[in-house]
Amino acid sequence: MIWIIVTSFLAYTLFVMWFSWYKTKGTDLKSSDGYFLGGRSLVGVVIGSSIILTNLSTEQIVGLNGQAYGESMAVMAWEVTSPLALIFLAFVFLPKYLRLGITTIPDFLEQRFDLRTKQIVSVLFLLGYAVAYLPTILYSGALVLDSIFSLTVLTDLSPFMIVLLVSLFIGIIGTSYVVIGGLRATAMSDTINGIGLIIGGLLIPILGVIALGHGNMAAGVNQLLTADPGKLNAIGTHDSSIPWVVLFLGMLFNNLFYWTTNQSIVQRTLGAKNLAEGQKGVLYAGLFKVFGLTFLVLPGIIAYLLYGNRLENADMAYPNLVVDVLPVALSGFLAAVLFGAIMSSFNNTLNGSMTLFTMDIYKPIFRPNAKEKELVRVGRIFAGCLAATAVIVAPLILFAPQGLYAYLQEMFGFYNMPILAMVIVGFFSRRIPAVAPKVAIIVHIVLYAASKIILPDVNFLYILGVLLPLNILVMVIVGRFKPRATPYVLKNANKVELTPWKHAKTFAAFTTIVMLLVYAFFSPIGVAEASAPYSPWMLVYLIAVLAFIGLIYLFWKLTHNKIDPQQNRQSGEKRSVG
């Protein structure tokens, strides 16, 4: 049996490696654009697949299904609400990014504020990737592959050694993609892995439903919809991990940071052939995210209906379901698909990290006149060092407290809202100075840390819902009292064609409608029933924060008019002369 699994695993994995090599063998990897951004030649399908695979990995596939098993469909918000942020990326952020011709998000922050702001943000990103995200990808991936291949049983090695060796294997393969082929190689591997993930991912809920119906799919669907309607409710109550009110505030803000300013995600779009292809890729990914619940949430619900409360660890819901419903002949294929998801998140994050280090730290600080070939070489060396660090740290997670990953996700809240605030303020203001983002970071860290001490039981998404507008307010106030000497102008680098995709608005509207229909289906007006009452305080919180945001906008408009009268007069004089 194990040889069937191993053979199918190797066949699929080697095919993906060959496909990536074949598609990248003519790419220029000697220039920074060619290496870090795939020569700015990526098309919509490739961008969309790469975004999806960068986002998906075992900690999400296993963890989100585990949350659904222990809770309800409310956790689908992490997936189904993502299109809103991707629509913002397509229409608001991406046109400006491509117009500027930047390689990294901190590149823009340097242009808008100063070099120090850029470097602070780059360091924050790198610390988050090195200490938390990359090791967690390796650790969770090692656990999944161990469960599929029964490595602990076959080798009699300790869990520490299993995690270390599997992490080393993933690290070597992932790093080789990045070091040898750059962004284009990782993007091409993501394209084929994306197809495999759709096929393999959909097999599990389909086979799970058949198992629910004891071999009859129609009976299984009926069992899924009627056995426990409370589990199907996507409208989270006050005691849910995702209360419904945070969908409009904290969850949206968290998604905006992740999908519009996170280097490892946005770098895919910065390599777009033109704006139209970039928008296609982003919106394709958005539509896919709506249906991601079919293999990221539904299997957890199916597992609950099959196993009840018998599982001691909710994170074992997905692995147990895979072992029980998937034919042995297909186990190797699914293992290869999951391995592709693991590797994609790893090497795409690695690619984003080395781009940040090379272009934002090494070049401006150590070698301002470095040639393109040297930058590529340094990026490869840094990628190897970062991967080695992640491999070493990964098995140490075994000794950390349970729930470490959720804790680390909350820790990202220490810097995600200030970075998003910097980009928003940078785009939509002209006079806010370089000192403003630095003040905002300090204020944010102090308040977020205080919330962990004073309000330890309050959902962190509530806190983020308040802190993003507060960060913007702090920057606007600083700009009111100490404005820039000259207004910022968004320049055109003329790197790519900026004509929008003609069907972008229609596609975005269609995706939004589908998202709302999915929420309606998994709600008390659809197939679900409310499992607990909704607290009136949630509505009070929503109204209060929205009012706060409205006051900030009003203050900004008044401040903007007060700061820029000289600029407005100059613009009027130029038009008169013209």
pLDDT of amino acid 271: 82
Long-range contacts from 532-537, C-beta under 8 angstroms, 24+ separation:
532/237, 532/238, 532/239, 533/237, 534/235, 534/237, 534/238, 534/244, 535/237, 535/238, 537/238
**Percent of the chain residues past pLDDT 70, beyond the cut:** 85
Question: What would the pLDDT profile of 264-285 be if each residue is shown by its tens digit?
Answer: 788 778 888 899 999 999 999 9
Lowest-pLDDT range, 163-172, 254-263, 320-329? 320-329
Q: d(Cα 96, Cα 261) in Å, to the nearest integer? A: 12
Question: Do the Cβ atoms of 423 and 109 come closer than 8 Å?
Answer: yes
Number of domains the chain is built from: 1
Residue 503: what are its φ and ψ, rounded to 5°? -100, 10
For residue 406, is pLDDT > 70?
no
In the structure, what pLDDT confidence band is assigned to residue 563 with cuts at 50, 70 and 90? very low
Whichever domain contains 310, its CATH number is 1.20.1730.10
Estimate the share of the chain in helix, then strand, then coil, as percent rounded to the nearest 5: 80, 0, 20
Amino acid letter, 244: W
Residue 403 counted as domain residue: no
Question: How many secondary structure helices (H) and strands (E) does the chain include?
Answer: 29, 0
Give the torsion through C-alpha atoms of 493, 495, 499, 500, to 10 deg: -100
Q: What are the C-alpha distances in Å from 461 to residues 75, 216, 244, 451, 515?
A: 13, 41, 11, 12, 21
Question: Do the Cβ atoms of 321 and 69 come closer than 8 Å?
Answer: no
pLDDT of amino acid 126: 86
Measured over the CA atoms of residue 18, residue 22, residue 24 and residue 29, the dihedral's sign is positive
State both tokens at 313: 């660890």
State both tokens at 260: 């519009």
Residue 130 counted as domain residue: yes
pLDDT of amino acid 315: 76
CA angle 423, 425, 428 (to 5 degrees): 105
Residue 272: what are its φ and ψ, rounded to 5°? -65, 145
Residue 210: how many CB atoms within 10 A of its CB? 17
Question: Do the Cβ atoms of 106 and 421 come closer than 8 Å?
Answer: no
Q: d(Cα 16, Cα 194) in Å, to the nearest integer? A: 11
Domain of 252 in residue numbering reads as 2-397+503-534
Residues linked to residue 272 through DSSP beta bridges, in sequence order: 42
Q: What is the mean pLDDT of residues 85-112?
A: 90
Cα 465 to chain centroid, rounded: 18
Question: What would the pLDDT profile of 302-344 be if each residue is shown by its tens digit?
Answer: 999 999 988 877 877 888 888 788 887 777 777 777 777 777 7
Q: d(Cα 394, Cα 138) in Å, to the nearest integer? A: 6
H helix runs in 357-434, sequence order: 372-393, 404-411, 416-428
CA R_g for the chain: 24
Q: What is the mean pLDDT of residues 536-557?
A: 83
Q: d(Cα 253, Cα 276) in Å, to the nearest integer? A: 25
Residue 420 counted as domain residue: no
pLDDT of amino acid 516: 94
For residue 262, is pLDDT > 80?
yes
Q: d(Cα 371, Cα 369) in Å, to the nearest integer? A: 6
State both tokens at 392: 């070493």
pLDDT of amino acid 573: 43
Burial class for 245, CB neighbours closer than 10 Å (0-12, 13-18, 19+): buried
State both tokens at 504: 């972008």
Give Cβ neighbours of residue 491 (< 8 Å, ≥ 6 apart).
Answer: 99, 100, 111
Please name which of 483, 503, 501 lies closest in space to residue 563, comparing C-alpha atoms: 483
Q: What is the mean pLDDT of residues 287-315?
A: 90
Amino acid letter, 342: I
For the chain, give the mean pLDDT: 82
Residue 563 counted as domain residue: no
Cα 54 to chain centroid, rounded: 7
State both tokens at 209: 């439903």
pLDDT of amino acid 266: 87
Residue 488 counted as domain residue: no
Residue 208 counted as domain residue: yes
Q: For residues 492-502, b (16+ Cβ closer than 10 Å) or e, as one string?
A: eeebbebebbe
For residue 211, is pLDDT > 70?
yes
Residue 486 counted as domain residue: no
Residue 480 counted as domain residue: no
